[in-house]
A and B are shown apart, each in its own frame.
Chain A
Amino acid sequence: MTGMETSNLTKEKLRKMFAEGKRFDGRELLESRDFEIEYDVSNKAEGSARIKMGKTDVIVGVKMQVGEPYPDSPDEGNLMVSSDLLPMASPRYESGPPKFDAIELPRLVDRAIRASDIIDFKKLVIEEGKKVWTIVADIYPINDDGNIIEASSLAALAALKNAVFPEIDKEGKVDYDKKTKNKLPLAKEIIPISFSFYKLGDSIILDPTREEEEACDARITFGISNWNKQIMLNSCQKKGKAILTSEEIEKIMEIIPKKFEEFNKKLKKFL
């Protein structure tokens, strides 16, 4: 089942409404939905978090694995982000080989986290060149009501902060039943957040619902973090046919620091 594609009527209506600065749920164009983060939703994972952002609902689990390092970085651990867009989350998703969205989502989350340097990969080494920790973060959208990229990146951050190392026994095997109290080597002050701006007509909106997201012509996603009290732009990805003008990008650049501060405040409650 693929549901019904966006009709010309709804798209036209949304275009007009955005031009007037209105949305169906009464939010401002750049107003984000409130979110709530819940921890320890999975008892088998080393760390897990569930975010609820309006009707959007995403679970992220973190699993720790021991393995060989990559040949080009013998003194560093690894991060692996994967996701499975479950058919129960949305009629748009189907089981089977991953499609474009299912490949793009974990890559965007991975890039936003990795490039912010929040994880000190050098501290993930058990034995240099032979044994390192690999952090595996799995993203599971439970319900997709738009903007799962932002929700997933927040949940992934929360799950990483929540995760602890499992114990390693004398033979060097990981005992997943015993958890230590050691948290992952994360930089405390760095907070990576990803923001997705959507464009329809001449309007730019943030945090769309699924209906709005499907109607939009273009999306641009930025991975943002803070470093030395400066706001850093770590990654960027654009999707969709429509063009973003340089004025629009400048406008977005003005919005990002404000949004980052806002999310920083909201996150303080949960982290």
Chain B
Amino acid sequence: MRNEINEAHEAEEDSESTSRWAVVPGETIVSGEDYLPSEGTRREGENVVASRFGLAEISGRVVKVISIFGAFVPRRNNVVIGTVSDITFSGWLINIDSAGSAFLPIDEAPRFINRNEMDQFLNIGDVVAAKIWSVKLKGIDLVMKGKGLGKLEGGFIFKIIPSRVPRVIGREGSMVNLIKEKTGCNITIGQNGWIWIKGPDTDSEIKARNAIEFVTSKVHVSGLTEKVEQWFAEQK
């Protein structure tokens, strides 16, 4: 599976050169009108103040806080992995582990589905990779047409903390590509923190999972790609 589905703008920007430090909500990160508050920050008079607990980062004029914990906030174009929780007359209800339920219309199925036999394609408990089409008050709409999307078969899924997903993907997918290369596994990462792994055998799948869990436990470390390479070397 190719990496187009891992949104480039969600991936880590240059992580090696900028410094980061921990901030708590209400803490002033920088002061001055020159700076622009971005994700996880707000402006209070002169100051740019953190509104989440995480690592503050200033790149150019933009100030942001990368949160260490936190739930997944659905946004348009996010790729998510969810399980089917219910079947309705016009589509499937998908649990994507966020506030509100997601709906996958029957038209999104890659082939014609008889409305009486919808469980033949997706039954309750089955896993899908889908893209968020819209986030509205009444719920979230999903689409499944696209490369790498669709029903997931074989392998397994597990969860990491959603705010650490960018780190697992790495800069332009460098981290996930390294893990794919070293283990020979197919890996799909949902922005909601659920990850699907399918590999040639169980051992490499377990290894891929351990590698990802190693990355998520070291989010604050810089130069992580080398560390992961080192980790792989130690495993043998």
Contacts and interface: CB of A to CB of B under 8 A. Distances in A.
Contact of B97 (A3, A10, A16, A24): A3
A4 B95 contact: yes
A8 B126 contact: yes
The interface centre, meaning the residue of A3, A8, A11 with most chain B CB atoms within 10 A of its CB, is A8
Nearest to B71: A1
Interface string B88-107: 00000001110100000000
A13 interface: yes
Contact of B126 (A7, A20, A211): A7
A5 B126 CA distance: 10
Contacts of A7: 83, 125-127, 156-157
The binding surface of chain A is classed by DSSP as helix
Contacts of A14: 156
A9 B82 contact: no
B198 to A, nearest CB: 9
Interface residues of B, number: 27
Contact of A5 (B125, B158, B196): B125
B155 interface: yes
Contacts of A13: 155-156, 205
A3 B123 CA distance: 19
B125 A24 contact: no
Given A10-B157, A13-B155, A13-B156, A5 B83 contact: yes
Contacts of A17: 202
Interface string A1-44: 10111111111111011001010101000000000000000000
Interface in B107-164: 123, 125-127, 152-159
A5 B83 CA distance: 8
A263 to B, nearest CB: 27
B28 interface: no
Contact of B127 (A8, A20, A26): A8
A126 B153 CA distance: 66
A3 B192 CA distance: 11
B155 A4 contact: no
A22 B127 contact: no
Contacts of A10: 156-158
A10 B159 CA distance: 11
A205 to B, nearest CB: 16
B202 A16 contact: yes
Nearest to B192: A4
Contacts of B127: 7-9
Contacts of A9: 126-127, 152-157, 196
| A3, A9, A13, A211 interface centre (most CB from chain B within 10 Å) | A9
Contacts of B97: 3-4
Given A10-B156, A10-B157, A4 B194 contact: yes
B156 to A, nearest CB: 4
Interface of B: 71, 82-83, 85, 95-97, 99, 123, 125-127, 152-159, 194, 196, 202-203, 205-206, 209
17 contacts: A4-B82, A4-B95, A4-B97, A5-B85, A5-B125, A7-B83, A7-B126, A7-B157, A8-B127, A9-B126, A9-B156, A9-B157, A10-B157, A11-B125, A13-B205, A20-B202, A24-B206
